[in-house]
Amino acid sequence: MSKLAVDGVGFTIDEGEVVGYLGPNGAGKSTTIKILTGVLHPTAGHVEVAGVVPWRERERNARNIGVVFGQRSQLWWDLPLRDSLDLIGKLYGVERSRHRANITRFTELLGLGPFLDTPVRQLSLGQRMLGDLAAAMLPEPRILYLDEPTIGLDVVAKERIREFIGVLNRDEGVTAILTTHDLDDVEQLCRRIVLIDDGKVLYDGDVNTLKTRYAPHRQLVVQLAENHQWQGIALDGVFQDPPGAKADSVTLRFDPEQNQISDLISAVLARHAVTDLSIIEPELEGVVRTIYSAREACSS
């Protein structure tokens, strides 16, 4: 029985954008990336990447793009990382001085120095992913596809990858499409997301707009002075969360469209002795989880 992996998915990405392409397992993310890279031929529709139809002009398309799949490597298993990078440079015809300059730069940005001469099969997952990212960018493509690039990585490796993508985008205008289940990646790198499920686009737009639409409330955490009791405040649309809690720290839930944060803080300070105040913004992960949970409830 055949399955429709993507169904009328349509979007345009401008040069220099970093876009998060998000969805649950089986939503159609990897299928889309494989179509964009020319690996798959869609049964219908039209796709262009930098003026190229990917599956018709695979070699030309390949010279425009870099690809990193989190669970597949383009490195040679038994060769030292340095040799793999040299071979990739020769395959793409990268001029020797340019190749050396890129290796030097990537070694510094990604911290490759300690394991450049280590066989790929002996590298940790994080080290291999850093090597794969360097390999993808050696030919200096203008477009970078990242399919779960930080899956299973430690904090240090994740941060190096995020910093590297940010530098490429900021300094060289590299366009990037990022699929990931780690929404910290998206929070740090992307201003726009495309959200899909069952092969269809649910949302395409600004990250902050998505948060405002699906998670309109913010939280104000109030740390009360010692021995001070919470007396409440006289503002409509502001709720204690959880209600009636008696503690040194009180959390207030409010809608910034209804109550300005400055008015809320003034109302708190007018009635209470406070040692600290902090605003908690909704996390993208929670917003996306809410959207998909609601869809599951509707379909069950």
Chain segment 104-118, per-residue pLDDT in tens:
999 999 999 999 999
Q: Is the pLDDT of residue 1 over 60?
A: no
Question: What is the amino acid identity at position 261?
Answer: I
pLDDT in tens, 113-159: 999 999 999 999 999 999 999 999 999 999 999 988 888 888 888 99
CATH, range 18-211 = 3.40.50.300
Domain boundaries, the chain: 18-211, 216-281
How many other CB atoms are there within 10 angstroms of residue 42's CB atom?
Answer: 16
pLDDT in tens, 187-231: 889 989 999 988 889 899 998 888 888 887 888 999 999 888 888
